[in-house]
Amino acid sequence: MDESYAIRRYEQAAALLPLRWQQQARQLPPRQMARAEELRLRAGQPMTVLLPEGEITPGQGGQSPTVTQTDLEQLCDAVTDYSRYAAGETLSRGYLTARGGFRVGVCGTAVLREGVNTNLRDISSVTVRIGREQGLGDEVLAQLFRDGQFCSTVLLSPPGLGKTTLLRDLIRGLSDGVGGLPEHRVSVVDERGEIAVMYQGVPQMAVGRHTDVLDACPKAVGIPILLRAANPQVIAVDEITVREDLRAISQAAGCGVALLATIHAANVEELQAKPLYQELLAGRVFRQAVLIRTGPEGRLYAVENLP
């Protein structure tokens, strides 16, 4: 990934913060700006920046003032253009979407009605995730074709190793037909708003010219909708976690649609050991996996056939 681009995305994310925290964020050395993954503000604590090796505090000697709840409220107001009510649906799920493709995670006190969270009050922490379009999928995508056809693929890694970033890159590559590959109609169920990062109906991240996005919709609900409405060749989803997701994915596979998804698992052996996914493997819904690991040179990607 181009370092100047990575730094620019960091600076754009920092610009979402209240002014004094923008100034604090800019004290980070450029080399670390390029590697930063999140800006984290917690009430009563200094602001930190998440790097691959952990959180650090920007500033001279690691010294920093503490974040106030007013800072957090101002940040949320600015991200929503001072219309937090209009963003109530996503805020109740713990996040906001900012212009430019940034997802802002929010923690606070849940406001429950009949057992359902309807809002968050007394904001206690905010996380600005620094989304980047890395182009990494171009190196992997060609390996996911067999006899000219894209094969259903699952991306595997523990949390925090970039599954969603790689997923987004692969969606873009399939949709645009990078490297001479055929263009595909790709439909995305973006349940948590992390893939396309929709803002007023427009994807803030590059997901390709032939991609349709169903935003903020549960996968089990969204996949049948896309099958009926979008005539997809590929359906992409993030983080399969419940049995209802598996049923919907199996339905799509039965309709002849290729699938692209992510699952939390360090390797194929761990995937096989989880009861939830044994049914998925038994049904041969996915034919191959991309394993994401870290090494001295950064992220490593390996394609393996599934049993």
Task: Print pLDDT tens along the chain (307 aa).
Answer: 688 989 999 999 999 999 999 999 999 999 999 999 999 999 999 999 999 888 999 975 556 789 999 999 999 999 988 777 777 778 888 888 888 888 899 999 998 888 888 888 899 999 999 987 667 788 899 999 999 999 999 999 998 788 998 999 999 999 999 989 999 999 999 998 889 988 888 998 899 999 999 998 999 999 999 999 999 999 999 999 999 999 999 999 999 999 999 999 999 999 999 888 988 888 899 999 999 987 766 678 999 999 8
Closest C-alpha among 22, 53, 21 to residue 37: 53
Neighbour-count burial of 175, counting CB atoms closer than 10 A to its CB (0-12 exposed, 13-18 middle, 19+ buried): buried
Q: Are 185 and 230 contacting, i.e. CB atoms less than 8 angstroms apart? A: yes
Q: How far apart are CA 7 and CA 233, in angstroms?
A: 35
Residue 131, Cβ neighbours under 10 Å: how many?
A: 22
Contact at 8 Å (CB) between 76 and 126?
A: yes
Q: For residue 206, how many C-alpha atoms fall within 13 Å in the half-sphere facing its CB?
A: 13
Place of tokens 């057992």: 115
Q: What is the CA radius of gyration of the chain?
A: 20
